[in-house]
Amino acid sequence: MGLAIDRDHFDPVDYERFEERLEECLLALGRLLERPGFGTGPTTVGAELELFLIDGRARALPLNQEVRAEAADPRLVLEIDRFNLELNLTPAPLAGRPFSAFGGELAEALAVVRRTAAVHGGRVVMTGILPTLRPEDLQLAALSDARRFRALNNGIRRLRQEPSRVRIDGADPLELAVDDVVLEGANTSFQVHLRVDPERFTAVYNAVQLATGPVLAVAGNSPTFLGRRLWEETRVALFKQVVDDRDPAGKASRRVCRVAFGTGWVRDGAAELFEESVRLHEPIMPVLAAERPLDRLDGGQVPALEELRLHQGTVWTWNRAIYDPTAGGHLRVEMRALPAGPTVVDMLANAAFHLGLALALAPDAGAWTRRLPFQQAHHNFYRAAQLGLGASLAWPLDPGWRVRTLPVAELARRLLPTAREGLQEAGVAGDEIDRLLAVIEARVTTAQTGAAWQRRTLAALEPRLGRDRALAAMLERYLEHQAAGQPVHTWPVEAAL
């Protein structure tokens, strides 16, 4: 988010000054994007992996500050709940072997976290939602001890003024009221960043949006929450409702939620998305920086735009525009929909499929955005999250980008050659492409995502163990397979012992 947060409560005048500064930031960004050559450079990718800490009984372990302090690794940062941590990977050129670089760094960094957690009797889990979470794990005391997270919690509560109702359909429908944002920590993801030149941003961002539905459908890994069997990617429904800042009037008027897929195809580049965030969503943490962005711009320098970056960090679109002032300033697309786990190779395969498909689609974005209504891409995203491989999605197909609705398995098989072309054109090594896209193809062929494996294993264990013990036993088997590192489509579904 950029700025350090030194308070967790704010006065009305703080919000007024912050809103004024946001307007300055938008003006400065618009002028900056008009500079010849701004933000151009080699295409790079980065990633962030969110993690759970658990104890020897497979329960949430609220010791993230202790583990982070003892690990002493600058890539490791706190996340919102005391049982969450995040690993920030070193950006790499997309050309060559970026996924191998990420795989090696993840193996090394995860080993550090695991060794440190073990000192406290803890373990590390990569999964979209921890299957063994209990209501008592998600009380306000679970919030990480940092002003940033207290300010976030207070800001959301200030806007909605009443508990939020969480309702998620599934085999065991869930309904509960939440006062705080602690349940956000129930969700962990593998977020991928793609650096994009400003003149290509519109096409690439729209392509990333379109690609998200089918990629998410083959990547599901979050089928349960609080012991309930819900969506294949329950994270999508849960996150949206937990940090919903809309009061009843806002919901009735269909005001856009802070967690959303988007409002339409982008037409005017990154500036359009930043302005939309400012116009549609009230500030939560109105902290001012010392820098005056227009003064810095007039001095021929690149402004940090810290207030705009802070505000953008509290608007959680599933694909988010990022402004970064480093390296002369540049833009990125942050792809936030993919879950953590099941294994490193599964996450890298998901990222390769998403990046390759988006890069291949981008050159023709002007054509297919005219044929495919944005609402259909929006619908694809939520159907993919709910049904995974059981979804059918609308897609613009040749000739003439005519739109057809296809089962996900058939659509994914059709799209794999397209993703391959996108990665090849970007200069990714051929053997890297072959290895990772083969994982996606095998996952579709076996119909076994992480979510499917969890469901099947739970169904095998529950008759003898009951729901709670079966979830814990399932998680133990999940951890064994995760440690072995073989992709999830190879995992056996074992009967209860």
Looking up residue 103, the CATH number of its domain turns out to be 3.30.590.20
pLDDT at 497: 47
In a domain, 1, yes or no: no
> Beta-carbon neighbour count of residue 360 at 10 Å?
22
State the total domains in the chain. Answer: 1
Query: 387 lies in which domain range?
Result: 12-490
| Distance from chain centroid for Cα 481 | 23
DSSP annotation of 485 reads T
If the chain, 497 residues long, is cut into consecutive pieces of 10 residues, what is the mean pLDDT of each piece? 77 96 98 95 97 97 97 96 98 98 98 97 98 97 95 92 91 94 96 98 98 98 98 97 80 79 96 97 95 94 96 97 96 98 98 98 96 97 98 90 94 98 98 98 98 98 96 98 98 76
Query: What is the token pair recorded at 277?
Result: 């965030």
In a domain, 342, yes or no: yes
Query: What is the token pair recorded at 153?
Result: 């919690």
Q: Quote the CA–CA distance of 99 and 101 in Å, as a whole number.
A: 5
In a domain, 495, yes or no: no
pLDDT at 89: 98
In a domain, 477, yes or no: yes
pLDDT at 437: 98
pLDDT at 7: 85
Q: State the maximum Cα–Cα separation within the chain, in Å, rounded to a whole number.
A: 71
DSSP annotation of 106 reads H
Q: Quote the CA–CA distance of 329 and 327 in Å, as a whole number.
A: 5
Q: Angle at Cα 355 formed by Cα 350 and Cα 490, nearest 5°?
A: 20
In a domain, 2, yes or no: no
> Beta-carbon neighbour count of residue 298 at 10 Å?
12
Instruction: Please enumerate in sequence order all residues whose Cβ is within 8 A of that of 346, keeping only pairs 6 or more positions apart, or say none.
Output: 219, 439, 443, 450, 487, 488
Per-position DSSP letters for 8-58, written without gaps between them: S---HHHHHHHHHHHHHHHHHHHHHHTSTTTT----EEEEEEEEEEE-TTS
Which is it for strands 164-168 and 174-178: parallel, antiparallel or unpaired?
antiparallel
pLDDT at 254: 67
pLDDT at 58: 97
In a domain, 187, yes or no: yes
pLDDT at 11: 95
Instruction: Please enumerate in sequence order all residues whose Cβ is within 8 A of that of 202, keeping only pairs 6 or more positions apart, or say none.
Output: 266, 267, 268, 269, 365
